[in-house]
Amino acid sequence: MRNWVCRRGSRQRSTAIDGPCGTKAMSVEQIYWQADDPAEAEQEKAPDRTDIAVIGAGYTGLSVALHLARAGRHVVVFEAGGIGAGCSSRNGGMVGPSFHKLGSAGLIARYGEAKTLTIMREGIHALDYFEDFVAENALECDLQMRGRFRGARTVADYDAMGRETDWLSRNIGLPVAMVPRAEQSQEIGSTFYRGGAVYQRDGGIHPRKLLVALAQAARAAGVKIVAHCPVSAMRRDGTETTLQTAQGAVTATQVVVATNAYADARTPAMHRRIVAIQTAAVATEALSPQLMDSLTPKKRMFGETGRVFMWFRPSPDGRRFIFGGRIGRPGGAVDAQRKAFARSVQRVFPQLPDVQFTHVWSGNVAYTPDHSPHVGFEDGVWLAGGYCGSGVTRSIYFGMKLARKILQEKGSDTAFDDLPFHPVPFKPFSGRAASLMTRWYAHLDARDLRRDHNAG
């Protein structure tokens, strides 16, 4: 996802209230992707015993379950809420190589150039695999690889972006092109940015459709998905683990924890290792075709520089815009969230002064102390997660890699295997610290914008 937006729980019913210009605005949280969601399958009964128990029915959990089932293993997936109730049906639906948050310079400073190249190339491998996986399994998810324009907020950002894109092009062959400010109108209907870059290998999906298609494929392979059945405890006894669930005790030979940003004390191996950061998203009312064409001439995905940035994209049907990020106070009052996004949107698109947001939702993104995703065996269970806001391609790819590790098959290795997955220091205070850092970063971003503006 780029920039995942996710919150555990079922879709809420909303009451429409009169908004400006005679439109209707939602007074409570509502998720755009689930507006026309098909009903879930009938509740399944958990067995007493299984080869492998997977906790979390999102992209990662369903991906690993599918591959294990196709290899002949008996797999049961447990989900505390509805299928994909967290990130996997609420993210922004943006796909790409998902390069590391530290960038090439940060990675080289920490790991050296050789390791940096393997980490960056892993992102290309993940995207290649994702595209092939969707095609080979005929997953209907509105995959549209139309590229992404990333805008530079300041001249300094544009210069830094040029250095990074040059490195990516030279060292891993990424198709990317810098776009000077004088030419950016060909990419975006905004004069806010100081130029930017077009990443040709990026694109978009409908995240809920991908989730539903993946669940259908897993069930067809023999996976049992037990929704609305939280796992409350686990106890390892020799070669087996007993899980206490809402339907009783279940014994498994292997356990996979795929709870990511929604890990808690019930899945401590993951919970100890990630920081859950709240983000939010909104979807506009349907806009005219002419307005949509002016805002996004090439129907691209969009991002921007900054420590606290906004991502945005046209909906798969091309009728709306969806915006997301750490904007306002995610998880707070919906009306306040709507106003916060209105300010951020008008910063980029002043031609949308009265736009209505018909859907507003918020949720969690899983970050790690080293800004890296991780996959492997920790504290007696298999883990994959910590996608740091870029999880669509990674989760599907890591699910495959984790299944191969469990099966002890060739081709299970990743560039992240030798990166230690350390617990988060001072974990009880991590949420508060993340909130304070977000405010500080937003202050620094505003300062940089003022300096750039004053410099002319």
| Residue percentage of the chain with pLDDT more than 70 | 92
- Lowest mean pLDDT: which of 32-46, 114-128, 287-301, 335-349? 32-46
Question: Rounded to two decimals, what is the model's pTM?
Answer: 0.91
CA–CA distance from 90 to each of 199, 331, 346, 349, 391 (Å)? 23, 14, 23, 24, 12
Q: What's CA 64's distance to the chain center, in Å?
A: 17
* Pairing, β 176-179 against β 196-199: antiparallel
Residue 444 has pLDDT above 80, yes or no: yes
Residue 40 has pLDDT above 80, yes or no: no
Query: Using CA atoms, how far apart are residues 52 and 65, in angstroms rounded to an integer?
Result: 8
| Residue percentage of the chain with pLDDT more than 90 | 77
Contact 101, 371 (CB under 8 A): yes
Query: Using CA atoms, how far apart are residues 22 and 102, in angstroms rounded to an integer?
Result: 46
Instruction: Establish how many alpha carbons lie within 13 A of residue 153's alpha carbon, considering only the half-sphere containing its beta carbon.
Output: 20
Vertex 142 angle, CA 207 and 225, to 5°: 45
Instruction: Establish how many alpha carbons lie within 13 A of residue 74's alpha carbon, considering only the half-sphere containing its beta carbon.
Output: 10
Residue type, position 292, single letter? M
| For residues 282-287, average pLDDT | 97
Q: Which band of pLDDT confidence, cut at 50, 70 and 90, is reported for residue 6?
A: very low
Residue 112 has pLDDT above 80, yes or no: yes
Residue 1 has what pLDDT?
Answer: 41
Residue 430 has what pLDDT?
Answer: 87
Tens-place pLDDT, residues 164-187: 999 999 999 999 999 999 999 999
Residue 308 has pLDDT above 70, yes or no: yes
DSSP-derived letter for residue 141 is S
- Lowest mean pLDDT: which of 186-200, 215-229, 431-445? 431-445
Residue 338 has what pLDDT?
Answer: 93
Residue 15 has pLDDT above 70, yes or no: no
The domain 16-147+201-424 is placed in CATH, from the list 3.30.70.270, 3.40.50.2000, 3.20.20.70, 3.50.50.60, at: 3.50.50.60
Tens-place pLDDT, residues 390-420: 999 999 999 999 999 999 999 999 999 999 9
Residue 4 has pLDDT above 60, yes or no: no
Residue 41 has what pLDDT?
Answer: 65
Residue 449 has what pLDDT?
Answer: 86
Residue 439 has what pLDDT?
Answer: 87
Residue 13 has what pLDDT?
Answer: 36
Residue 38 has what pLDDT?
Answer: 61
- Structure tokens, 293: 């064409």
Would you kindly state where each structural domain of the chain is located, as residue ranges?
A: 16-147+201-424
Residue 363 has what pLDDT?
Answer: 85
| Average pLDDT along the chain | 90
CB burial of residue 183 (10 Å; 0-12, 13-18, 19+): exposed
Locate all alpha helices (DSSP H) within 288-391, ordered by sequence.
289-295, 334-348
Residue type, position 366, single letter? A
Longest Cα–Cα distance of the chain, Å, equals: 69
